[in-house]
Amino acid sequence: MSIKVIVAGFKGRMGSTAVDMVKNDDELELAALLDPFAAEKEIDGVPVFTDKNDLIGFDAHVWVDFTVPKVAYENTHFALEHGFRPVVGTTGFTQEQIADLTALSADKKTGGLIAPNFAIGAVLLMEFAAKASKYFPDLEIIELHHDKKKDAPSGTAIKTAELIQEVRNYKKQGAADEEETLAGARGAEFDGFRIHSVRLPGLVAHQEVIFGAQGEGLTLRHDSYDRISFMSGVNLGIKEVVKREQLVYGLEHLL
């Protein structure tokens, strides 16, 4: 039996790439598409919905979400409430929202995944960065994305920072009497270290974690040059969430 998939945000850069991935996998079936601004009623026989409430009772297993940060929580909540297992790439969730959705999934015994980055290389970068921060507590995260990205810092940068926080001994970096003569020059502070967001046309999704110590430095970097880099992770997520009864935050929990 194929896994029936709804794609929310199907007209977007990530959503349209996910649609192609689903169509090209015989184990998956594209069941429905959602975009509040869509004019089409169907595309190649696949129904298009403009209101998520019309999907209540619809026959599908998984809800893939690549929409916009302001609706991601509401969409994921809706998916869990109505028996669709969410596979969410949309970023911008707060820790409280993730905790709330994790509790709801446990209550509903419905699997799900919120992954700030579906690229395997980015998942490895996060893991390596956390490991290195135990030995190199002085670090800065620089994330670089295309200039249409709505949220900053990226979900990947936040997740990286959270993983680092779990193992790094707290340290407030920089000079004690440091002053910003231009507001924001030192980036956003997270647990005593800094996160910087670069937005430029031509970029896709990139991240560096730079470590500094006495007389040495270490730079970890991951680059997604193409959105196809995220699709093996989305595909894995779809196939794993149908077997599970608990939402997880981070692709590493399914690897």
Binding site for ligand NAP (CB under 6 A): 8-9, 11-15, 34-37, 66-69, 71, 89-91, 115-118, 149, 205, 230
Q: Which one of 23, 82, 149, 239 is the catalytic residue?
A: 149
Q: Which one of 145, 159, 196, 206 is the catalytic residue?
A: 145
Segment holding 17, helix H or strand E: helix 13-23
Q: Name the DSSP letter for residue 38.
A: -
- The answer to whether the CB of 77 falls within 8 A of the CB of 70 is no
Nearer to ligand NAP, 142 or 211 (CB): 142
Residue number of the CB atom closest to ligand NAP:
12
- The answer to whether the CB of 161 falls within 8 A of the CB of 129 is no
Active site residue 149: yes
Residues annotated as binding site?
Answer: 9-14, 40-41, 89-91, 115-118, 146, 155-156
Give every CB contact of residue 193 below 8 A, 6+ residues apart in sequence.
Answer: 138, 139, 140, 141, 161, 164, 171, 173
Least distance in angstroms from the C-beta of 213 to ligand NAP:
31
Least distance in angstroms from the C-beta of 220 to ligand NAP:
18
Least distance in angstroms from the C-beta of 214 to ligand NAP:
36
Count of residues in the chain: 255
| Cα-based torsion angle of the residue sequence 52, 54, 60, 62 in order, rounded to the nearest 10 degrees | 10
Residues annotated as binding site for (S)-2,3,4,5-tetrahydrodipicolinate?
Answer: 146, 155-156
Active site members: 145, 149
